[in-house]
Amino acid sequence: MQTPRESHRFHILEVIEKSEAPLGANQIKKELSSLGLNISEATVGRVLFGLDQETLTKKEGFKGRILTEQGQNALREMRIQRERKEYGEEFFKVLDSTSEAELVEILVARRVIESQLARMAALHITPEIAQEMQDTIDRQAKYSKKGIAAEYDVQFHKLISRSAGNKVLDAMLDLIRQDGQLTPALEYIRKKVKSSIIVDHKKIMEAIINKDPNTAEKAMIEHMDNLIRDVNKYWGKM
């Protein structure tokens, strides 16, 4: 479990990295507050002093701190460790109760239901849902590079269900997806086998927005087949 000090170091380095100009302790405190992290200015100052000593940050006169090359490398490693911990734990939690065969069976069931939902979504798509889909895909593309896009995967598939407007199939899908509990595990698997679903999602979205039910159905089947392939590939490497 990450200590408060380690968490503070990580978030402070992230805030400094995202800024185009050097940041002082007070500015960093305000940025952290906007993210819902209430860390006192005194604590920020102490953390910054430690980061300076480790040469992860350096002062730019009276303007504030910037990241050094060592700091950028350290932040990158911290992200990797956090992602491994978060998604590794989720994966093994699911793995305790789900075998490879069971996970494939779930994806096969999803293929049947979601291919029909994609077809219906293409027939009933509205401009509002189409825009939500595009926004969700954009966010997923942004966060997938960090390996933390599971929630946008769920959102995208829920938008398809919304557009389809079939409450029975929607309820069946929720049951099969186990309220999204399997999504982090699947994201973990895709990351390990170096696979991505962004291209699949874009194909599905384009077919739905273009009101092409046949192509939407085919794209969803292909997407599910790709997920099944990733699961088989992952277990095959263990």
Determine the 3-state secondary structure of 200 from DSSP: helix
Q: What are phi and psi of 197, to 5 degrees?
A: -105, 0
Distance, CA of 104 to CA of 182 (rounded, Å) = 12
> What pTM value is reported for the model?
0.58
pLDDT at 189: 80
DSSP code, position 23: B
Write out residues in the chain with pLDDT < 70, as ranges.
Answer: 1-4, 80, 83-99, 144-149, 178-181, 237-238
Determine the 3-state secondary structure of 226 from DSSP: helix
Nearest to 231 by CA among 189, 199, 184: 189
CATH number corresponding to 98-237: 1.20.120.530
DSSP code, position 59: E
Assigned token pair, 52: 């300076």
**Mean pLDDT, the chain, whole residue set:** 85
Distance, CA of 157 to CA of 159 (rounded, Å) = 5
4-86: what fold?
A: Arc Repressor Mutant, subunit A (1.10.10)
pLDDT at 183: 73
Q: What are phi and psi of 57, to 5 degrees?
A: -130, 160
Q: Where are the domains of the chain?
A: 4-86, 98-237
pLDDT at 188: 75
pLDDT in tens, 60-101: 988 899 999 999 999 988 886 776 566 555 555 555 556 678
Q: Distances in Å between the alpha carbon of 34 and those of 7, 21, 29, 134?
A: 16, 18, 9, 26
Q: Distances in Å between the alpha carbon of 47 and those of 10, 12, 13, 28?
A: 10, 8, 10, 11
Query: How many CB atoms lie under 10 A from the CB of residue 97?
Result: 9
